[in-house]
Structure 1
Amino acid sequence: MKHSSAVLFKASLVAVSVAAASSAYSAGFALNDHSATASGTALAGAAASTADISFSYWNPALFTNAKETTFYVSGAYVMPSMDVTVNSATDAAAFGGSDISGDGASGDSVNNTLVPSFYFAKPLSDKTVAGISLNVPFGLSGDDDQDWAGRFHATETAVQDIALSFALAHRVNDWASVGASVQVHKAEIVLESAVGSSNSNAGGEGIGRIEAEDTAVGYSFGAMLEPVKGTRVGLGYRSEIDFDFEGDVKYSGVSQLLNGVLQNNRMYQLIDTDISDSVTMPSVITLSFEHELSKKLTLGLSAIRTGWSSLDGLDIDFESDQPNSELTFGFEDQWMYSAGLTYAYSEKLTLRTGIAMDNSPANDEYRSARTPDGDRKWLSVGATYDFNDMTSATFAFTHVKIKDVSVNRTSLDEDDARGTLQTDYSSSANVISVAMNMAF
């Protein structure tokens, strides 16, 4: 059998790369609300829009949207809902494989989250713009009760990746712009789950908690072309981010009986120790199209490819004399498609709407309590009001419907030390975004 501390890592550290259980907004664990303006059209035209500098997240060439010093601040309040029905759960075979007691369902396993974004642009000349932005590309916040039936798979998960970007964008001529950025990413994780057995005669159970962090560097580049006046095509690329997480695991409530676990004729201890693991966050390619159907109405289209296959799995290394813990993700590269309309209702008011299909990277074989991810459909509306030539405010609302999925963890070898779990998930999310754009 496998060491009980390995259970914690295999069941909990997967949250480093999957926030679906706690971030119902975007497929996988990406956070896509980096602009209230873009959210109004469900990201349609995200790499080709001339609306404002917030679109530089998907294409750094769009910092050329700034004709003067500009500041844009946006915030998205994500309100997810997840109903979790536990059909069955058992201890690991090493502890008898008995039914786990606890709440059969955990309906409040996701938390409301605020996702901020900041952009600053300073023209260096008529054609060149310097930009700085702060975003949260990946993140989640989730908390399950410590007595729910799936507690050996997860009790608490928190992941946050903050990226500070430094960009340069250049207007080559009247119909072409290019740009690039360097990003500094600071990622932190907090992961917790039960360890041991629900059977007190087999040693009982305790709690293991992981805290780890790392700083890494990434980059982006992009181009926007307007070959015909009113028709724009944009392409942006954000690189993979290689994190080497370092941190520690701390245990509480672990009995002396549980603290000695036999594996391969060797005795291992559930002791506080340092851990490390290398995780590669996915790259993102955004291809967008915008066409002005009339002076007032603009059509936007986007196709966004996220390279989820870079997350092939985990190989957690323990500094103490404990075996590594491995977990397969089985993620697949996926696309998000969106279409939207922007309508200039008046000189001061602009209206937006959009729809999107966001495909999940998870598959049925490896879907777990940490990856109950399903395909998503977005429906968005939004508006911008120009107070004057220097200041405007933007609002957007997005409803996200997630396909119902089931977790069936009954036959994978990697669950030998974690036990079985069969659950059904029904999820959705509402997102309210607001932004202020100021030029001076």
Structure 2
Amino acid sequence: MTTPSKSLFKVSLVTVSVAAASSAFSAGFALNDHSATASGKALAGVAASNEDISASFWNPALFVNAKETTVYVSGAYVMPSMDVTVNSASDATPTVPAFGLTGPVDITSDGATQDSVDDTLVPSLYFAKPLSDKTVAGIALNVPFGLSGDYGQEWAGRFHATETGIQDIALSFALAHRVSDKLSAGASVQLHSAEVVLESAVGRSGSEGIGRIEADATGFGFSLGVMFEPVKGTRLGAGYRSEVEFDFEGDVKYTDVAGVNGGLSALGAGYQLVNADVTDSITFPSVLTLSVEHDLSNKVTLGLTAIRTGWGSMDGINIDFDSDQPNSKLTFGFEDQWMYSAGLTYAYSDKLTLRTGVAMDNSPVTDEYRSARTPDGDRKWISIGGTYDFNDMTSATFAFTHVMIDDVSVDRDFTASGEEDAGRGTLDADYKSSANVISVAMNMAF
């Protein structure tokens, strides 16, 4: 049987869930805008592209696209919108008459919370240096996963989440080799540095404070890729990015809460909210990209891509507090998912290339486990873009993507979900989301 003190403790749960929020751009919390070139065609054909070195994020073999020392700098400005309508919410105050606690308290709400996700800049940098006519060394800096979102500390679902911040920066070192006129292969090793900020309200409605976790970790990964051109004008590509294991270390701190590090807490006698160190191990998913490009004519190229993200590796978390506080658990219930895209590239003139594409990006989140930190839905992309060649050495690229996200609902009830929500109370909310993304890039050869 769960003791009152253990049930009460759950309210202090501020989960170090690196996957506990969704990016309004890509399904889950993946960021897929690492190339303005690829974004203009919704990633269609990206693992088989012969356009520039930015496609090496999905397939390291494509560093062979560099014939000279080359720098590609790309930036994507993600402008998400997420409107949340709270239908009902309550805190998790238990019924303990001895302490004057009479059960959950309904939390009033003005109905809608707007702009609960922040605009975000996603940078990418690629550098390629040919070592010979057939071998190219490459370096890349990317942000594979990330999110910035803030509901604020006044919304009705604040016991489930207030702020979420995630950032994973990857530095890659690659080698690509042209095995023959038809086959190229490549590989990279990656150093990842990840940070996470998770915040939520703690206590009970009307007598509450804020709990905040900040944690960081480093990890290592690798990628492999091949590109095969069986006949002139038809290219097949495959790239694989490995899982990355992180051992997060950080701390949880409480503010405006009575009883921190001693005394009676806001939840009653015999219970304390204690500032403490926290640890947890989380595995970021692998990514498999399969693409084909076919030159329909000397001006038009068709591209197709399928991307499988192994979200199933993130089945949940188990946070260990460096104190007498019991471990905290959260089930993600993520499922492996595919993204599919198709697009066209049109060489309008010797200097101007135009692109367009569409994509379907399936969410890994299931209805059963969707939460205020994972209000994720399936997405559809529509993209346009273009590249202008100033000369043989320098070009500029632009892309615009509109992302339509399915409306979803969050229905969290600790009487149904068990102790995972026993400290957060209930939340019934509807989400309407979308995003616009503007990408620009410069490609320079020396």
Please give the range of the TM-score, normalised by the shorter of the 2 chains. Answer: over 0.9
Q: C-alpha deviations, 1:301-353, integer Å up to 9, x for none?
A: 00000000000101000001110000111100000000000000000000000
Is 1:118 the counterpart of 2:121? The answer is: no
Q: Which residue of 2 aligns with 1:214?
A: 217
> Cα RMSD over matched residues?
1.4
Q: Please say if residues 378 and 398 of structure 1, whose CA atoms lie closer than 8 Å, have aligned partners that are also in contact.
A: yes
Alignment partner, residue 136 of structure 2? 129
Distance 1:18 1:386 in 2: 42
Query: Whole-Å Cα distance in 2 between the matches of residues 19 and 124 of structure 1?
Result: 42
Residue in 1 aligned with 2:299?
Answer: 296
Q: Distance in 2 between matches of 1:7 and 1:174?
A: 62
Aligned to 1:280: 283
Residues 119 and 98 (structure 1 numbering): CA distance in 2 closer, same or farther, change over 3 Å?
same
**Contact 2:203-2:267 at 8 Å conserved across structures:** no
Given that 1:6 and 1:324 are in contact with CA atoms closer than 8 Å, whether structure 2 keeps it comes out as: no
Identity of aligned residues (%): 74
Is it true that 1:226 corresponds to 2:229 in the alignment? yes
> What is the alpha-carbon distance in structure 1 between the residues aligned to residue 365 and residue 209 of structure 2?
30
In structure 2, the partner of 1:374 is: 377
Letter in 1 for 2:199: E
- 1:271 to partner: Cα distance: 1.3
- Determine which of 246, 270, 286 is the counterpart of 2:249: 246
Three-state SS of the structure 2 residue aligned to 1:173 is: coil
TM-score of the pair, normalised by structure 1: 0.95
In structure 1, C-alpha distance between the alignment counterparts of 2:270 and 2:315, rounded to whole Å = 30
Residue of structure 1 equivalent to 2:392: 389
What is the rounded CA distance, in whole Å, between the counterparts of 1:123 and 1:85 in structure 2? 54
Aligned residue runs from structure 1 range 25-104, under 5 A: 25-94=25-94, 96-104=103-111
CA distance in 2, matches of 1:276, 1:250: 14
Q: For the Cα contact (< 8 Å) 2:21–2:372, is it kept in 1?
A: no
Gaps of 5+ in 1: none
What TM-score does the superposition give when structure 2 sets the normalisation length?
0.94
Once the two structures are overlaid, the 10-residue window that deviates more, 220-229 or 105-114, is 105-114
Contact 1:101–1:198 under 8 Å retained in 2: no
SS of equivalent residue, structure 1 residue 412: helix
Q: Determine which of 409, 417, 421 is the counterpart of 1:412.
A: 417
Q: CA deviation at 1:12?
A: 3.8
Aligned-partner residue type, residue 419 of structure 1: G
* Native 8 Å contact 1:407 1:423 kept in 2: yes
Partner of 1:160: 167
2:190 pairs, out of 183, 207, 225, with: 183
Change (3 A) 1:195 1:103: farther
Q: CA distance change for structure 1 residues 87 and 404 in 2, over 3 Å: closer, same or farther?
A: same
- 1:13: how far off? 2.6
C-alpha displacement of 1:97 = 1.2
Of residues 423, 431, 435 in structure 1, which corresponds to 2:437? 431
Assess if the C-alpha contact under 8 Å between 2:8 and 2:271 holds in 1: no
Shift of 1:267: 4.3
Match of 2:21 among 4, 19, 22: 19
By how many angstroms is 1:103 displaced? 3.9
Paired residue secondary structure (1:223): strand
After superposition, give the CA deviation of every residue in 1:33-72 in whole Å (9 maximum; x if it has no partner).
0000000000001100000000000000000000010000
Structure 2 Cα separation of the partners of residues 186 and 5 of structure 1: 31
Change (3 A) 1:35 1:258: farther
Match of 2:48, SS state, is: coil
CA contact (8 A) 1:47 1:236 kept: yes
Distance 1:261 1:405 in 2: 33
**How big is the shift at 1:18?**
3.5
Measure how far apart 1:255 and its partner are. Answer: 1.8
Secondary structure of 1:365's partner?
helix
> Higher mean Cα deviation, 375-384 or 140-149?
140-149
> Could you tell me whether the CA contact under 8 Å between 1:8 and 1:192 is conserved in 2?
no
Are the counterparts in 1 of residues 280 and 318 from structure 2 also a CA contact under 8 Å?
Answer: yes
CA distance in 1, matches of 2:216, 2:45: 34
Determine whether 1:399 maps to 2:432.
Answer: no
Choose the corresponding residue for 1:306, options 292, 306, 309.
309
- For residue 17 of structure 1, what is the amino acid of its counterpart? A
What does 1:308-347 correspond to in 2, within 5 Å?
308-347=311-350
Partner Cα distance (1:103, 1:428) in 2:
22
Alignment deviations for residues 344-381 of structure 1 (CA, whole Å, 9 cap, x no partner): 00000000000000000000111000111000000000
